[in-house]
Amino acid sequence: MSNQNDILVSVDHLKKYFPVKGLKGPGVRAVEDISLFIRRGETLGLVGESGCGKTTLGRTILQLHDPTSGKIVYDGETIFEGENPWVTEADGTLKQIKVPKPKQVNMLPYRRKMQIIFQDPSASLDPRMTVGEIIGEALDIHKLYSSKNDRNDRIKELLGKVGLNTEHANRYPHEFSGGQQQRVGIARALAVNPEFIVCDEPISALDVSIQSQVVNMLEDMQEEMGLTYLFIAHDLSVVRHISNRIGVMYLGNMMELAESYELNRNPIHPYTKTLLSAVPVPDPQLSRTRQRIILEGDIPSPMNPPTGCKFHTRCPYATDKCRKEVPEFKEHAPEHWAACHMLG
């Protein structure tokens, strides 16, 4: 896919199923056979409808959810590798088989290198702890500072870096606005000097003016500290602005992956074209002439996904081949991958 030396995170055929009590089978197929890589220092944007598995993918890469199968490599070290315990029978149903125990490493050393900024800042901050305690908790777990003064100086430095005052360290989360709470969440993620951060919709709960401040702050920190981001969001215009490459997900599968400019200028998958047609254009004349593609029906259930291509139930170009065969996710142009039978 790319030069091996500059790849920080690599994922091969990753799957994550959530079992459902009282039901046979794999349960909810949240992430289904995803392969991607993230280069050191770049931002990979991830977009898709609600419930398509973006957040689950981010959390599974960090192993906050145990992967079902696949391979995760971080900076050349394999941190998870496991065989798929579900095989497809002749009638299309999935049957569980015995497989060797997956290879997993102790994640504690990697927790310093891999961090996450959560979607809802108020839910991810402990209401019983002050902001200083919240940020300092990570420093204590990894034993980064032996003296209390150094620890306090580091907390004040982090608060200053994210645009908060040093006296805010003694306040509780409920005393802050949404934007300030998200800044505390970002300071907590930066506390242990990570290399890779999963930004799980860090701006979706904020108003527009605060969104731009947080996005600009994330970009400045990336430049200053050489961070690598997996940026998950709904807003295509924000993802277009911050990302080097963009991946489009639908029902647990990756539909298209390309450089940001290339994906916006030349989308080749029908689902990507639909998403881009919904982005408003700040030109009244052009927006009147633009043809918006409207999909029929709702997103199918990940507990019982369609056979073949997952998108065939809503795709205007679907054929019998789409209903029967799963399209291969392959490169159709340099650095431009897609999974669609129509592309050949």
> At which residue do the structure tokens 């192993």 appear?
63
Residue 139 near residue 169, CB atoms below 8 Å = no
State the average pLDDT for the chain: 89
| Residue 259 three-state SS | strand
| Exposed / middle / buried, residue 243 (Cβ in 10 Å: 0-12, 13-18, 19+) | buried
pLDDT tens across 324-337, in order?
Answer: 889 999 999 999 99
Superfamily of domain 4-113+195-207+226-343: P-loop containing nucleotide triphosphate hydrolases (3.40.50.300)
pTM for the predicted model, two decimal places: 0.91
Q: Quickly state the pLDDT bin for 158 (edges 50, 70, 90).
A: very high
Residue 333, beta-bridge partner list: 336
pLDDT tens across 37-76, in order?
Answer: 999 999 999 999 888 899 999 999 999 999 999 999 999 9
pLDDT at 196 over 80: yes
pLDDT tens across 211-264, in order?
Answer: 888 899 999 999 999 999 999 998 888 899 999 999 999 999 999 999 999 999
Supply the pLDDT for residue 3: 53
How large a percentage of the chain has pLDDT more than 90? 61
Residue 189 near residue 115, CB atoms below 8 Å = yes
Look at strands 336-338 and 28-39 and give their pairing: unpaired
Q: Which residues contact 18 (CB under 8 A, 6 or more apart)?
A: 27, 28, 30
pLDDT at 291 over 80: no
pLDDT at 281 over 80: no
